[in-house]
Amino acid sequence: MKLFVGIDVSSTDLETVMMSSENNEVVFQGNFINDINGASDIKRTVLKLVTTNHFDQIIIGMEATSIYSFHPSFFFKNDDDLNQYNTETVVINPKETKRYHDIFEENKNDKLDAFYIADYLRIGRYTVGIVKQENYLALQRLTRSRYELVKSSVRAKQHFIENLYYKVNKLVTTDKPKTNVFGSTMMDMLTEDLSTDDLANLSIEDLTDYLSKKGHGRFSDPKALASAIQKAVRGSYRLGKVMADSVDTVLSVYATEIKTFKKMIAELDHAIADLVQTIPEERILQSIPGIGPVYAAGILAEIGQINRFDDETKLASYAGLSWRQKQSGNYNSSTTPLIRSGDNYLRYYLVEAANHVKLQDDVFKDYYNRKYHEVSNTPHKRALVLTARKLIRVIFFLLQNHQIYEERR
């Protein structure tokens, strides 16, 4: 006989319904504070029911509710007293419980939500338990924060480019030089050291000398770069002083932000590289060409223990790297959109890893090229996502069998 414990989590409360597998009877219903005391009260209630009703398994479930479900799920998962009674703790995708809830009930409140979470556990449709070990969760804090910083950095760069177009439109369009405008030298030149007129009026020799000194000799052909920059500047529209000053201020702000993000990401990368060494599977993932400590950490932090997944299709679905089928009768659509659910962090690190793996491994390179040439619409995006899906199969096999990746000879 099983005891199903459904918990509807909010920032302040843990609305709880406990249901027996015998006759699907609700054996307890109550509200607790979302803190260590409330969770302990739930635990005591569960243990009391177990001793009086002789349940042989306890399944505790709650929806993934922002940050609010982290502490109670971790508390129940790692409690020694509960684990003596074959206890399983799961965190469920809210979309799944909502679909189940909507079949039976149009009304919505916390008590009903807790009931349908318990009932959803009863039918056994949940598949993935939570990550247990603390070092995986600690790594997850770092890799998820890095993801957010990378996204913020990308947005800052997009705004920088947008405003740079106002200042020197040709520099970001047809006459843009073959160098990164987000490099330290280029950003200083565009935001601090030289005005647009300065760039237009400097001799090629002086601009070349400026680039060589500021770049510490890192530009392979500073003279060609100076010519390209000056050509772009001279071909661009001119702004009035008021507008130019406004744009320069905005560019300076975004330049500072981009440099700050770069420094913060580097700090996280260092911390990630140190912590991921405590994860046993780190060596397995880094045996795949193109996967370094950061991408290995990002993937492992989300996967946790591979035995959480029955097969590689479950892992792919968890990452949101699976496609909706459109079929009816004799009709089978050739367009199958990617599902818009799953673990965004895991999907990001898998796709980024695949982008590097395809450059260093012939098997993945051939697969990517084949998929790239199959379609004309967004070929890179499609091929890269499919390559990431292939990477999932490899990762699942290696982790499940504790094997190191061997390149094709």
Note whether 87 and 29 are same-domain residues. yes
Q: Is residue 80 part of a domain?
A: yes
Q: Which of 130, 153, 181 is the last residue of a domain?
A: 130
Whether residue 407 lies inside any domain: the answer is no
The domain containing residue 295 runs over which residues? 281-401
CATH number reported for the structural domain that contains residue 59 in this entry: 3.30.420.10
**Could you list the pLDDT tens digit for every one of the 409 residues in the chain?**
899 999 999 999 999 999 998 888 899 999 999 999 999 999 999 999 999 998 999 999 998 877 898 899 989 988 999 999 999 998 888 878 877 777 776 666 667 888 888 888 888 766 656 555 788 889 999 999 999 999 999 999 999 989 988 888 887 775 566 667 778 788 888 887 677 888 888 888 888 888 888 888 888 888 888 888 888 888 888 888 899 899 989 999 999 999 999 999 999 999 999 999 999 899 999 999 999 999 999 999 999 889 888 899 999 998 999 875 554 444 444 556 666 678 899 999 999 999 999 999 999 999 999 999 998 888 999 999 999 999 999 999 999 999 999 877 6
Could you give the number of structural domains in the chain?
3
Domain endpoint, select from 112, 130, 148: 130
| Strand partners for 15 | 8, 31
Question: Same domain for 325 and 387?
Answer: yes
In a domain, 150, yes or no: yes
